[in-house]
Amino acid sequence: MHSPDGPSQRQLRVGEMLRRAISDVLARGDLYDTDLANTSITVGEVRTSPDLKNATVFVYPLGGQNADNVVAALNKSSGEVRYALTKNVTLKHSPKIKFMLDTTFDQMDETHRLLNQENVTRDLDHDEQDV
């Protein structure tokens, strides 16, 4: 959980360090799960708890294909990921990892779709003429 003020600099720094390390683990194909074989996975963000003992990893498979299966397979393999992290990242405690589907890509697509609607572009063009 994040504080009302948002994550601390330490949480952000550790989250980014974990994101890079987990991306490397996935890129190398270090996980032995048939649901993950030949699947390119983007690690968008890692959010850590204030005590750094838990980490939520937001992932998105290339093209969004089999997203639910990929997230389930990653959660099933979270122990392997955690073990791989202990070799690559120096932290006092290796965080417990939970994978979730990163929906920011869908949100961006929806925003683009909304902004490209005829009535919105017309309104935006009209506002630019008023300036």
Asked whether the predicted pLDDT for residue 20 surpasses 80, the reply is yes
Conformation bin of residue 99: beta by default, left when phi > 0, alpha when psi is -120 to 50: beta
- Is the residue at 114 inside a domain? no
Q: What residues contact 15, with CB distance under 8 A and at least 6 apart?
A: 7, 45, 46, 47, 48, 55
Q: Does residue 69 fall inside a structural domain?
A: yes
Q: What is the pLDDT of residue 2?
A: 46
Q: What's the CATH number where 79 sits?
A: 3.30.300.20
* Domain residue limits at 47: 9-102
Q: Is residue 124 part of a domain?
A: no
Q: What b-and-e string marks burial along 77-101, b requiring 16 or more CB atoms within 10 Å of the CB?
A: bbebbbebbeeeeeeeebbebebeb
Average pLDDT over residues 50-68: 89
**121 in a structural domain:** no
pLDDT value for 97: 93
Residue 107 is assigned to a structural domain of this protein? no
Q: Quick one: pLDDT at residue 3?
A: 53
Using one digit for the tens of pLDDT, what is the confidence trace for 22-58?
Answer: 999 988 887 888 878 788 899 999 999 999 999 999 9
Q: Identify whether 82 is part of a domain.
A: yes
Whether the predicted pLDDT of 1 surpasses 60 = no
> So what's the pLDDT on residue 127?
59
What is the number of structural domains in the chain? 1
pLDDT in tens, 72-126: 999 999 998 888 888 878 787 889 999 999 887 655 555 666 666 677 666 666 6
Does residue 19 belong to any structural domain of this protein? yes
For residue 120, the model assigns a pLDDT of: 62
Query: CA dist 5 to 10, 17, 50, 57, 101, Å?
Result: 14, 21, 12, 21, 24
